[in-house]
Amino acid sequence: MENFLKIDGLTKERLLEAAQAALQQAYAPYSQIRVGAAVLADSGHIYAGSNVENSSYSLTVCAERNAIFHALAHGEKHFLALAVVTDSEQVKSPCGACRQVMAEFAPQLPVVFTNPQGTWVFNLSELLPQAFSLKADLDA
């Protein structure tokens, strides 16, 4: 959470607004759980993604991974914060697969999570305390 507090207010606002805008693009006809996410790269750019469901559930991709993959596709590899927004009270944090993808690139990533019940800020290490890793640091 300490790293999130170092980010200026305008950048935090832009990050949350990008996640909220991505929420509007979510494709969730099966679960009806829409999620938007935005990741802040250390370059200052913000990349957004929404969840995209498929009738074959294993092919569904979460908003958090879509945002990170969007950033990676643009050459980013270092992230400062991730915002996740949902309009569902059922969802309270990113799923395990998303947590593991986050851990690959930013083990101390601050994650801001917002649903109708409130907003929480976590460090990824709190959400995934023993992340799987074959190598401690891949700074390619």
| Residues annotated catalytic, as ranges | 64
User: Partners of 100 in the beta sheet?
Assistant: none
Q: For residue 59, give the DSSP letter.
A: G
The H-or-E segment that residue 26 falls in is none
Burial 84-115 (b: 16+ CB within 10 A, else e): bbbbeeebeebeeebbbbbbebbeebbbbbbb
- Distance (Å, rounded) from C-alpha 30 to C-alpha 119? 25
Task: Calculate the dihedral angle through the C-alpha atoms of 128, 12, 69, 119, rounding to the nearest 10 degrees.
Answer: 40
